Chain A
Amino acid sequence: MSALLEIQHVTKRFGGLCAISDCSVAVETGHTHGIIGPNGAGKTTLFNLITGIYKPTEGAIRFRGESIAGLRPGRIALKGIGRTFQNIRLCKELTVLDNVRIAFDSQLHYAPIEALIRLPRSGRGEQRSIDESLRLLEPFGLLAHAHDRAGDLPYGHQRKLEIARALALKPSALLLDEPAAGLNTGETAALTEFLRWVRGEFDVTLVLIEHHMHLVMNLCDRITVLDFGQTIADGTPEEIRANPRVIEAYLGGADDE
């Protein structure tokens, strides 16, 4: 099995601060990969490097064997990397449906002039975008809210919408930044099942940053542990659980958060 996403010796410095230092992660196709580590370990920075919001100071990032380091974020998204954000970033003024349509639009191929004077191809494209976006909303339980302002949705629904929107890109890798943040134990268990379903239904490789150990240990095939921007451990959940450096740096007494 080949690696879908490879982060090779990546370093990111912000002035004097080294947020990520010589970090390497390999995400296998079809795996669910967990990124854990204490606050400030550089997990979100790593996501921002992968998705092109930051450019790595050193090192290479490969997606399906192709170098993506330094590409613009939009290009990287179109190559098949979808993501969600730690603090939800929806287009709050737009409807739920339009949020999904914006991501789906990358699959519509009509030229500006066709849109401006409404040539048939743009109409067919719009029709498809509505149909497919509504179809996508249904399994997320958002169909009934399709016409609500995204900003008016309850928190849990906003999280689901963000995932649905990322999936509208038809990504092969989906990066989830703390999907269980703010959820209670029961909701986290439901999210675990939900992500399992997403993984199967959309045939997508999941990479997730998460603090809820139950979710990470239950869902992930492989886990990378970061601390102070460095990889301190990498392995299966069992290996990570038993790794003394991880226990010291992160799990400590909070094994069962």
Chain B
Amino acid sequence: MKPFLAAAAIARWPLPVLIAAGFAFTVAAQYLPILNGYTQFVLITVGINIILCASLNLVNGYMGEFSVGHAGFMSLGAYSAAIFTTKWLPATPAAFLPAVLFGGAVAAVIGFFLALLSFKTRGDYLAIITLAFLMIVKSTWENLPYVGGPRGITTAPLTTLPWVFAAVVATIWIIRNLVYSKFGRAVIAIREDEIAANAMGVRVREAKILAFVVSSFFGGVAGALSAHATFFINPGQFDILKSTEILVMVYLGGIGSLAGSILGATIFTFLSQALQPLGYWRLVILPLILVLLMLFRPRGIMGLRELPWFLPRRELLIKRELYKKP
């Protein structure tokens, strides 16, 4: 048994090395002429989309609910962080991390109350409540002169590739930790059979609320990053179409899978960049992809499967049946 355990442990060494190398590369790209501005922007978008996709996957994939309000959390995070950097503190890189965390926190607090409210109802009602939430957030910004109303506000371009890379790694790590904890198992049990989950003593409300809060937090983080990746934000950026895009990423990559979330967000971002020349036809093609996915591969590319690198070591040993029997 011992050598196998060692082998399994050794097999994971490339993971930290790759992460370190990736981070080094993103830092290098800041100072060396490796990537042009456009490529950097696309990669930043990929990263933000990965965060959006993985966090929505928590609710729509792992928990099996259907939230269409993720753009609302993104919006909350974007505006909160933008207010932070434009109105309260000078827009310096030092203010950026607190601003991003503040954006996530605001989204998480609102997410908490929305979860309390919406889990009194079940199934399709969550979709309706999150839709209403999305519209409320959008019209709030539109009617608030403090943040520029419908015209939005100008932000400082503080989001850089290393920041986004670090945020992606942190998001994936934290969501992975949640999924492979008792809370994650509870969330998955609720998806599989809520009545059975109850009979097994699963604290259904606690698990649902936690998953929803973590999901909204990272939705907010993604919003904060996205607000500072461009020069301005306006309420219209975070509408139902944005939510639909995130849904497409989730269902394309695969529900209940972090590897799927990364895959879905990456494919989607490059595809949507490639479709840019089509102009408004893009808005027809993307929802069409969602329809086709639901028809032919409802669980997505990686649906409910995971790559070994996204499993905690202990879970991987169990899966490979290398776990030392008690």
Contact = CB atoms under 8 A, between A and B. Distances in A.
B186 A102 contact: yes
The 5 closest A-B CB pairs, nearest first, are A115-B181, A91-B192, A73-B198, A105-B182, A106-B201
Given A77-B201, A78-B201, A110-B181, 14 more contacts: A52-B198, A77-B198, A85-B195, A89-B195, A93-B192, A93-B304, A112-B210, A126-B180, A126-B181, A127-B314, A130-B314, A130-B318, A134-B325, A168-B200
Interface string B187-224: 01100110111111111100000100010000000000
A237 to B, nearest CB: 28
B185 interface: yes
A103 interface: yes
User: How many of chain A's residues touch chain B, expressed as a range?
Assistant: 35 or more
24 contacts: A74-B203, A74-B204, A77-B198, A77-B199, A77-B201, A78-B201, A89-B196, A90-B196, A91-B192, A94-B189, A102-B202, A105-B182, A105-B201, A110-B182, A112-B210, A115-B183, A116-B181, A117-B174, A122-B181, A129-B182, A130-B318, A130-B323, A132-B326, A169-B201
Contact of B326 (A77, A131, A168): A131
B124 interface: no
Interface of B: 174, 177-178, 180-186, 188-189, 192-193, 195-204, 210, 214, 304, 314, 318-319, 321, 323, 325-326
Interface in A87-118: 89-94, 97-98, 101-103, 105-106, 108, 110, 112, 115-118
A121 to B, nearest CB: 11
Contacts of A118: 177
Contacts of A51: 199
Contacts of A72: 198
Query: Chain B: interface secondary structure?
Result: helix
A124 B231 CA distance: 47
Contacts of A73: 195, 198-199
Contact of A97 (B182, B186, B201, B318): B318
Contacts of A74: 197-198, 201-204
Interface of A: 51-53, 72-74, 77-78, 82-83, 85, 89-94, 97-98, 101-103, 105-106, 108, 110, 112, 115-118, 122-123, 125-127, 129-132, 134-135, 143, 147, 165-166, 168-169
Contacts of B186: 102, 105
B326 A125 contact: no
Nearest to A88: B196
Nearest to A84: B199
A210 B43 CA distance: 62
Nearest to B320: A147
Contacts of A92: 192
A98 B189 CA distance: 9
Given A101-B185, A131-B326, A116 B196 contact: no
B182 A103 contact: no
Contacts of A93: 188, 192, 304
B278 to A, nearest CB: 38
B157 to A, nearest CB: 30
A253 B46 CA distance: 72
